[in-house]
Structures are given as structure tokens and as C-alpha cells.
């Protein structure tokens, strides 16, 4: 299993809180981008309470501030603003959870986590995507191809 597989796995959480959102960013998201020599400049989230609140009293907002990541929120009642994420939720439900829960009864989260990690690896490395960003590539191919564009944008930010 390559480094990407160790880092870019979805992590199952039992709560939906600001600290778990910050934990996911710290343990999975930022390390993945660091592995590819990139950092995150801005994060788009919905307006769930796990993602936004007063910076000084909110773990996720504080985490973003400490890491110098701008936080953008979707418009109220406009899930299409974050359509890629919404589509991923539908895909993981249809292609993973609905299938796997018909085949197996899980007794531990670790057991389910292992199967989820395997599916996420497949999703990112083997399953091609037809959306406007991937255009028949896998997400990891799209990330690699987009790195040049990302570097140009970062350089332009540093010039200003």
C-alpha cells in the first residue's frame, strides 16, 4: 500500500462535531496535500455546526485559522454550490454502504473501516469519473494533472 493509501482514507467518526472535523483535516486531508507538495489555501464547507462558529470558541474554525486556511461557506439552501461533495455522498451510499451492508454484518468499526479504506482506494485510483473536473480520469490522476495549475495560482498569489 503506497503512502497515499495510508493518508487518503475516509475515517469513520461516531460524532459530528467541530473537533472531529478538525481531526479529519489534521490526520487525513493536510497530510495528503503535503505528500503531493501542495497546501490548502481555502476550504469550502456547508453551514453545519461542525464547520462554523466563532473562531475563538470553535475547534474547526480555530484549526483553519492556525493553518492559515480561508474558510468559505456554501449559500444557505444551495447544496449545488458544493455539488462535487454532494455527488460523492450519493456515490459512496450507492456503491459502498448499500451494497456492503447487504453482504455483511459488522461487529466493529475497525472491520468496517478496513472495507471503507479499500473502497476509497478503488474510488481514487481505479474508478474513472465523468464529471467536468475528472473527464474520464481517476481522482488521483486529476490531482496530479491539476498540480501545475495549483502551483501557478500560488505563485500569482505570492506576487501580489
Query: What's 19's domain CATH number?
Result: 3.30.420.10
Give the predicted TM-score (pTM) of the model: 0.78
Place of cell 473502497: 119
How is residue 145 written as a grid cell?
Answer: 494533472
Domain span at 147: 3-159
What are the CA-CA distances from residue 149 to residues 17, 37, 44, 140, 142 (Å)? 33, 13, 19, 15, 11
pLDDT in tens, 123-146: 999 999 988 789 999 999 999 999
- Least confident segment among 48-52, 67-71, 126-130, 156-160: 156-160
The predicted structure's pLDDT at residue 9 = 58
Query: What's the CA gap between 151 and 39, in Å, rounded?
Result: 10
Q: Tell me the average pLDDT of the chain.
A: 89
pLDDT in tens, 60-108: 999 999 999 999 999 988 888 888 889 999 999 999 999 999 999 999 9
In degrees and rounded to multiples of 5, residue 116 shows phi and psi of: -65, -45
Query: What's the CA gap between 111 and 114, in Å, rounded?
Result: 5
What are the CA-CA distances from residue 63 to residues 24, 52, 56, 121, 124 (Å)? 11, 11, 10, 27, 26
Q: How many domains does the chain have?
A: 1
Q: Which of the four pLDDT bands, split at 50, 70 and 90, describes residue 31?
A: very high
Amino acid at each position: 500500500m503506497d503512502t497515499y493509501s495510508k493518508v487518503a482514507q475516509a475515517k469513520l467518526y461516531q460524532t459530528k462535531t467541530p473537533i472531529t472535523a478538525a481531526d479529519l483535516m489534521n490526520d487525513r486531508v493536510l497530510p495528503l496535500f503535503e505528500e503531493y507538495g501542495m497546501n490548502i489555501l481555502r476550504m469550502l464547507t456547508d453551514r453545519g455546526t461542525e464547520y462554523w462558529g466563532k473562531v475563538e470558541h470553535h475547534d474547526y474554525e480555530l484549526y483553519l485559522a492556525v493553518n492559515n486556511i480561508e474558510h468559505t461557506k456554501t449559500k444557505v439552501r444551495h447544496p449545488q454550490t458544493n455539488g462535487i461533495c454532494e455527488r460523492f455522498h450519493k456515490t459512496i451510499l450507492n456503491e459502498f454502504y448499500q451494497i456492503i451492508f447487504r453482504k455483511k454484518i459488522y461487529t466493529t468499526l475497525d472491520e468496517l473501516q478496513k472495507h471503507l479504506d479499500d473502497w476509497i482506494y478503488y474510488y481514487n485510483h481505479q474508478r474513472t469519473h465523468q464529471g467536468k473536473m475528472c473527464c474520464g480520469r481517476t481522482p488521483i490522476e486529476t490531482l496530479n494533472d491539476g498540480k501545475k495549475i495549483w502551483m501557478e495560482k500560488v505563485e500569482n498569489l505570492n506576487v501580489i
